[in-house]
Amino acid sequence: MARLGESLGVMHECAAPTFGKVALVDRGGRSRGGSCEEVVLRGAVDDLAEAASRGRWMAGAMDELDDVLHNLAAEVRPRSRYGLIHGELGPDHVLVDRQGEPVLIDIERSLIVEFELSLAVASL
């Protein structure tokens, strides 16, 4: 686990001038959607709507949770430091090679995002 943590730390140190999918940023492109904060908020709102469509108990809390999301998002200040994250990191995306070293798989969803978001994801 320590070695995996070191590897993820190296990933997060990969800096870029903007956010988005790695292939896009690597070609000099810029992600659509304004700021990284806006893209993350839109994704959270979409996820909330999807969850609300699956059950009454969640639908009943939709307005309150939507307000919480927007209030929290209003507190976020734009950043200018972006780091690399796996995008789907979980136990099913890490293998161990014959030398006992961790190997990340399914890296096609890797993203360059706000540095603070990359740290939050890494801490999960």
pLDDT tens for each residue of 6-22? 888 887 788 888 888 88
Task: Single out the residue of 34, 30, 13, 12 nearest to residue 21, CA to CA.
Answer: 30
Structure tokens at 98: 């014959």
Mark residue 33 as left, alpha or beta (left: phi above 0; alpha: psi -120 to 50; beta: remaining).
left
pLDDT tens for each residue of 26-62? 888 888 777 888 888 888 899 999 998 988 888 888 8
Homologous superfamily of the 1-33+79-124 domain (CATH): Transferase(Phosphotransferase) domain 1 (1.10.510.10)
Domain boundaries, the chain: 1-33+79-124, 36-77
What's the CA gap between 18 and 35, in Å, rounded? Answer: 9
30 φ/ψ angles, rounded to the nearest 5 degrees:
-135, 140
The pLDDT value recorded for residue 116 is 66
